[in-house]
Structure 1
Amino acid sequence: MPTNESIEVERKYAAPARTGVPPLQEAAGVARAERRRTVRLDAQYFDTEDLDLAAHRITLRRRTGGGDAGWHLKLPASKESRREIQMPLSPAADGVPAELLDYVRAIVRDRPLVPAVRLQTRRTRHELFNAAGILLAELADDRVSATSELDGVEPQEWREWEVELQEGGPQIFEAVEPMLREAGAEADAGPSKLARALGDRRPSASAPDELPGHPDVEDLVSAYLRQETDRLKSHDYGVRVHEHDAIHQMRVAARRLRTVLSTYRSLLAEGRSDELRTELKALADALGTARDSEVMRDRLADLIERQPDDLVWGPVAERVADELTRRYESGHENALAFLSSQRYFRLLDALDALPGELVETDLSHADAAEHITDLIARDWRRLRRTVRAADAAPDEEREVLLHEVRKAAKRLRYATESASAVLGKQGKQLAKAASAITDILGDHNDSMITQGVIAELAAQAQERGESTFTYGRIQGWEAARADISNEAYLDALRDVDALRYPGWKRARPKQA
């Protein structure tokens, strides 16, 4: 089903019941204002019983009447703008279109959407043009009647003016607002008609966490858990619709959450950290095949593109694209199956609730700047132990242990980033150094996997009677790339050593 997407930039005003719209053609930059005929709009808004969409400043409606009848989903984009996705009208009995549900699945999960509020509106549009005939903005004069079957939502009637930019810039707001105020309007009547209609049932929108001037450990951990949970959920839609890099970013958020759950496990009930880390790993694993195929496809396409035309023998590029696209699509199906499972939805429920589950310990209300380095030091020492083990291992075991080094470096990086608000410059330097190790070893790991994929593709080509010359050539290029990444790894280790914990640890005042 086709969709239409746009960004709304608008301001709303509570308008007096009997006052006429002021002569907006007199506003600066406006040459004429044209009044259009009044239309009747009938909109049914949908939400979960707990109004999860409203809590995220999201509205989902099915509207008849006017020139844009259909399904409308509005998502917050900034303070004065919203992203609107429209779909053609379909029978109400068919339910919310699946394409729209994909946008909000990480919020509504498996909870059913039910009719929340019905808004009936008499709308008269006033279009504002400049001297060149360009439509700058539109003022909608709306008289609204709201009813609901939800408990605690009383019928309401009100009038509002809504100024929405078309081809004009934000200066139009500044030009018309004084005239609207003089006519008796009051700005900021609410973020949406739905929010006003809900009255006391309107859920409080969660505000971004702002750390106090001297945060304690619990402040820091709670804020980071919310931040990374929101980040994970923000990539849910992108994964569903093949958005570039969404799978990777969702996995990164999952890894960050796993790290903070490990580093600060003492703030959670016994066993809770391991339980959630297991579920987050299951999510990352479900995304893994699609992500690996995505990386390999791009990596091999780049290698083939670098080859001179006369050294590409046979349909190498086509074979690589076909095989890795097949693997990606299979992996993506597995990812979607997980993202549609109750296991995933319950994980999101648990992550949402987690900041409120932190237990009281001696560490909870300790000054974060004084105590957080003690926790992160464990991750630094873990990395050094893993590096030493990899250095001492025979060649046949070293690749496995380098993967463990990469995981330890990720853990140190994410733990340090979680405390960036209190660690200052030295903490940022350590996170950057650990990040360099993860990037280098990540590239090394991708290179080793790519070499295995090239060998598989070469074997397939040989079975088909095709030349394997180019496969051998790009295999050599990839092996050389792996050797280069190994040298870079040794350089990055020296940077981490320069930030060894005893010199990095914050000095504490002596006890009197």
Structure 2
Amino acid sequence: MVDHLEIETTFEVGAEFEPPRPADLAPGGMDEQAHRLVATYFDTEDLRLAARGITLRRRLGGPDTGWHLKIPWGPDGKREFRAPRGSHATRIPARLVRLASSAARGAALVPVARITTERTETALLGGDGEPLALIADDRVHGEVLLRNGREVRWREIEAELGSGDRALLDAIGRRLTDAGARPSRTGSKTLTLLGGLVPERPARPTGPTADAAVRGYLFDQVEDMLALDPRVRAGEEDALHQMRVATRRIRTVLRGFPAVVGRKAVRPTADALRELAAALGEARDLEVLRERFTARLAELPRRAGGVRLTGDWLTVFDGRLEAARRRAVRSLEGQEYFALLDRLDRLRSSPLTGPRAGKPAEKVLDDQVGDALARMRSAHERALAATDRASRDEAWHEVRKAAKRVRYAASASEPVLGTPAARLRRWAANLQEVLGDHQDGAAALRFIEVSGGRVAAAAPDPVAASASLAALSGAETAVAPYLLAEAEREWESGPKEARRT
């Protein structure tokens, strides 16, 4: 199975349109080929994939016969995953089903459309013969296979980027529009064919009320979750971390705006988000430890006490990390997870039930951010009063969590409260980062204390591994007080009105 990032632009043209031949944009010449493509598209009966801009098809004909799954990937691209066509016309490859499952949510995928395309494809070649871009002139016959099926015929032009740069794609687009082409209103053959059958995407809430402000923030975080789901399944770097952050932001806002949200109504959703964040967190915490150990080892001398310091033992650590990543992906399977996504969709689309949800946003959000600040000040006072290492570490960890709540509350309020909320968000983020570094060091020490012996024993060179872990423990112990001092300096740099008691 292969995949690639597809960046293309689609144009509407009439039957008599004369496409330009931009030979001056092709230093290696142009190569023209004709194909007849027959594709069957699969979706749920209520077109959940199409509603998310996802297409799944089995195509016959052309150089890429087989199964194709296209998922929006960033602001202007789609990731296309491919698999061989197989001998069974409706047996969709399991990996493609999983990648689309946050949209389908357990509903059966059935044939919903058949599209036959008579394509004339022109490749603009570079000097090395590689296609810089492809221009496809498509005459299309579409058939809806759902209830009240219909047939539609149209013509369109697709310009797809190959190994060229975005400027080339823009130049091709200008040539096409100058010749009379119009940017497509749908950008997709399936959306052109299915039209009004596709459910409308939910609209982002707007308005002057606290409900609209908080739901607008929730809307964005849910969108991030849904976009990150296939990236986590595909193993994209940092996707797991970003999805965990999105779940935490949603949960923090559900808990941090009780006057707007109505905690009792959203408690099951908040609990499910906590469980999901914990499932994703195991792998993420191991990723952080792995990165921290690698960085610390690079700072240490090569030998200590006559023993070579080594990172060979990290191979044992990597086995745990990969197993945790697999468990994290499994947490995105099943009806409990899909039910959570359904609840989040309903939550961002329906008015919130808190007692002040319908009030003007500015005063309500200012009060709620103030409550979050009060909790952070209390946590800071407890941290300053802590005496032993264990209680001090735990108390500063609570300050970090409180700073995170302030950061997310300020982020949600920033469109309404403006500069004061932005300043507060930046301060809380800086404080959270320093305390996160301290917390990661405390986690590293706990790992060495609890698991270091087993890890060293399983390493290729147990003596060198033991020495390395001991050196890492000493380094983390030494740096911890400096990180707390830095955190206190960061605290004192914050807005006076935020630090007042």
Q: Same fold (TM over 0.5)?
A: yes
Aligned residue number for residue 499 of structure 1: 497
DSSP 3-state at the match of 1:427: helix
Q: 1:344 to 1:82 in 2, by over 3 A?
A: closer
- Quick check: 1:143–1:160 contact (8 Å CA) kept in 2? yes
Distance (Å, rounded) in 2 between the aligned partners of 1:462 and 1:60: 48
Distance (Å, rounded) in 1 between the aligned partners of 2:120 and 2:319: 53
Q: 1:12 to 1:85 in 2, by over 3 A?
A: farther
Q: 1:461 to 1:10 in 2, by over 3 A?
A: closer
CA drift of 1:333 comes to 2.9
Aligned residue number for residue 9 of structure 1: 8
Given the alignment of the two structures, is residue 331 of structure 1 paired with residue 324 of structure 2, yes or no? yes
Aligned residue number for residue 378 of structure 2: 385
1:315-367 deviation digits (Å, cap 9, x = unpaired): 74111x12321221232232222211321111111111102333456623322
Percentage of matched positions with identical amino acids: 31
1:377-400 deviation digits (Å, cap 9, x = unpaired): 111111111222232234243322
Relative to structure 2, which stretch is displaced further, 332-341 or 464-473? Answer: 464-473
Given the alignment of the two structures, is residue 484 of structure 1 paired with residue 482 of structure 2, yes or no? yes
CA drift of 1:36 comes to 4.5
For structure 1, list consecutive stretches of 5 or more residues without a partner in the other structure.
504-512
CA drift of 1:412 comes to 1.0
Given the alignment of the two structures, is residue 259 of structure 1 paired with residue 257 of structure 2, yes or no? no
- Quick check: 1:35–1:124 contact (8 Å CA) kept in 2? no
Q: 1:428 to 1:497 in 2, by over 3 A?
A: closer
Given the alignment of the two structures, is residue 313 of structure 1 paired with residue 307 of structure 2, yes or no? yes
1:374-431 deviation digits (Å, cap 9, x = unpaired): 1111111111112222322342433222222221111111111111112222211111
Q: Normalising by structure 2, report the TM-score.
A: 0.88
CA drift of 1:466 comes to 2.2
Relative to structure 2, which stretch is displaced further, 442-451 or 6-15? Answer: 6-15
- Quick check: 1:268–1:357 contact (8 Å CA) kept in 2? no
Aligned residue number for residue 508 of structure 1: none
Q: 1:293 aligns with which of 256, 262, 286?
A: 286
Distance (Å, rounded) in 2 between the aligned partners of 1:292 and 1:97: 32
Q: 1:447 aligns with which of 434, 441, 444?
A: 441
- The amino acid that maps onto 2:409 is A
Aligned residue number for residue 57 of structure 1: 53
Distance (Å, rounded) in 1 between the aligned partners of 2:452 and 2:160: 59
Relative to structure 2, which stretch is displaced further, 162-171 or 122-131? Answer: 122-131
Given the alignment of the two structures, is residue 229 of structure 1 paired with residue 222 of structure 2, yes or no? yes
Q: 1:142 to 1:246 in 2, by over 3 A?
A: closer
User: What are the residue-to-residue correspondences of 1:19-168 with 2, within 5 Å?
Assistant: 19=16, 22=18, 24-25=20-21, 36=32, 38-77=34-73, 81-93=77-89, 95-127=91-123, 137-166=133-162, 167=164, 168=168
Q: 2:333 aligns with which of 337, 340, 343?
A: 340
CA drift of 1:177 comes to 2.6
- The amino acid that maps onto 1:291 is R
Distance (Å, rounded) in 2 between the aligned partners of 1:315 and 1:289: 27
Q: 1:244 aligns with which of 237, 240, 245?
A: 237
- The amino acid that maps onto 2:332 is L
1:276-331 deviation digits (Å, cap 9, x = unpaired): 11111101111222111111111111222222223383574111x12321221232
- The amino acid that maps onto 1:11 is T
1:468-496 deviation digits (Å, cap 9, x = unpaired): 33332221111112111110121122234
DSSP 3-state at the match of 2:235: coil
Relative to structure 2, which stretch is displaced further, 150-159 or 275-284? Answer: 150-159
Distance (Å, rounded) in 2 between the aligned partners of 1:135 and 1:301: 41
CA drift of 1:105 comes to 2.6
Relative to structure 2, which stretch is displaced further, 113-122 or 67-76? Answer: 67-76
Q: 2:409 aligns with which of 409, 415, 419?
A: 415
- Quick check: 2:302–2:308 contact (8 Å CA) kept in 1? no
- The amino acid that maps onto 2:6 is I
- Quick check: 2:205–2:215 contact (8 Å CA) kept in 1? no
Distance (Å, rounded) in 1 between the aligned partners of 2:174 and 2:33: 26
Distance (Å, rounded) in 2 between the aligned partners of 1:50 and 1:176: 35
Q: 1:378 to 1:34 in 2, by over 3 A?
A: closer
User: What are the residue-to-residue correspondences of 1:173-184 with 2, within 5 Å?
Assistant: 173-179=173-179, 181=180
Q: 1:126 to 1:269 in 2, by over 3 A?
A: same
Aligned residue number for residue 188 of structure 1: 184
Q: 1:15 to 1:78 in 2, by over 3 A?
A: farther
Q: 1:23 to 1:434 in 2, by over 3 A?
A: closer
- The amino acid that maps onto 2:484 is N
Q: Normalising by structure 1, report the TM-score.
A: 0.86
For structure 2, list consecutive stretches of 5 or more residues without a partner in the other structure.
none
DSSP 3-state at the match of 1:125: strand
1:49-79 deviation digits (Å, cap 9, x = unpaired): 2211111222111100112111122233577
Q: 1:501 to 1:153 in 2, by over 3 A?
A: farther
DSSP 3-state at the match of 1:170: helix
Distance (Å, rounded) in 2 between the aligned partners of 1:48 and 1:255: 30
Distance (Å, rounded) in 2 between the aligned partners of 1:23 and 1:277: 54
Aligned residue number for residue 361 of structure 2: 368
Q: 1:428 to 1:49 in 2, by over 3 A?
A: same
- Quick check: 2:52–2:201 contact (8 Å CA) kept in 1? yes
CA drift of 1:104 comes to 2.4
Q: 2:463 aligns with which of 456, 462, 466?
A: 466
